[in-house]
Amino acid sequence: MIPARKSPLGQSWVWWLIDHSLRKYFDRIFFRMRYMPSAEEKALPIIACANHFSWWDGYIAAIVERQLKVDNYLMMEEAQLKRYSFFTWAGCFSVDRHDPRSVMQSLHYAARLLKERPGRMVWLFPQGELFPNDRRPLVFLSGALHLARMAYPVLLYPVAARIEYMGEQRPGLFISLGAPMQVNEAEVRASGFLKVYTRRLEELVTAELDQLRADVLACDYTSFTQIVQGRPSAHRIFDMLLLRKQLKRQ
């Protein structure tokens, strides 16, 4: 297993790389958090469970880290992390999901990270591989609940992300965090814990994805905060050069 090797300088460099890419390839990025945790909840370990739909998923985790100002870690496929090892500087650690021993080693490592410091966040993509955003039903591996059982009490946050074109040359990126599921000792000791709560997690993430899709398709961005403005589209550059009045954006 490849551990995370966080460093302030390394994190700054990786964030510069991420921020540069986001502004280059997206028109705008929107973020919302639909549930504000209490002070007691903020002290709990956090497991972020997101849909796994694009090359950008790790960058999305970095965006959320910046917005929430948390100490963030992300479980990444070992072959990819070997290829881009500099992501360990930003908190990525590896898992080989084809090797059960490696999976458990990575989960135990993640549990140690969560227990070491209050309010830490570890990101998992429970689908295990990339799927189209609107594929249903969601089917999750049980790793997130294994981790919850090792590190309880924890909050499992459902995270939904969607990329959508909105009349611009580049797409918009929408990120939405729903209400978390708290796992305490009572839940961990319940009969069929892994199966029952994995299904509940699937339902939470599905609901968050469906609500996000509905809001985006309705062009209802009122609950979002725009957090990144990308480079101007070609037609906007032409308009500025020709001193034309720009069309109102949605």
In-domain check, residue 92: yes
In-domain check, residue 105: yes
Read off the pLDDT of each residue in 13-26 and give the average, rounded to a whole number: 96
Amino acid present at 49: C
In-domain check, residue 247: no
pLDDT at 248 over 60: no
Residue 166 has a pLDDT of 86
Q: How many domains are contained in the chain?
A: 1
Q: Please state, in angstroms and rounded to a whole number, the distance separating the CA atoms of residues 206 and 159.
A: 9
Please, are residues 212 and 168 in contact by the beta-carbon 8 Å criterion? no
In-domain check, residue 2: no
Q: Closest Cα to residue 64, out of 123, 152, 137? A: 123
Band (168; pLDDT cuts 50, 70, 90)? confident
Read off the pLDDT of each residue in 62-70 and give the average, rounded to a whole number: 95
Q: Closest Cα to residue 33, out of 46, 15, 17? A: 46
The more confident residue out of 115 and 167 is 115
Band (242; pLDDT cuts 50, 70, 90)? low
In-domain check, residue 145: yes
Q: Please state, in angstroms and rounded to a whole number, the distance separating the CA atoms of residues 171 and 26.
A: 5
Please confirm whether the linkage preceding 153 is cis (ω < 30° from 0): yes
In-domain check, residue 137: yes
In-domain check, residue 236: yes
Q: Which domain holds residue 174?
A: 8-241
Q: Is 93 helix (H, G, I), strand (E, B) or coil?
A: strand
Band (232; pLDDT cuts 50, 70, 90)? confident
Residue 37 has a pLDDT of 87
pLDDT at 170 over 90: yes
Q: pLDDT for 96-125, tens place per residue?
A: 989 999 999 999 999 999 999 988 999 999
Residue 241 has a pLDDT of 64
* CATH code of residue 58: 3.40.1130.10
In-domain check, residue 3: no
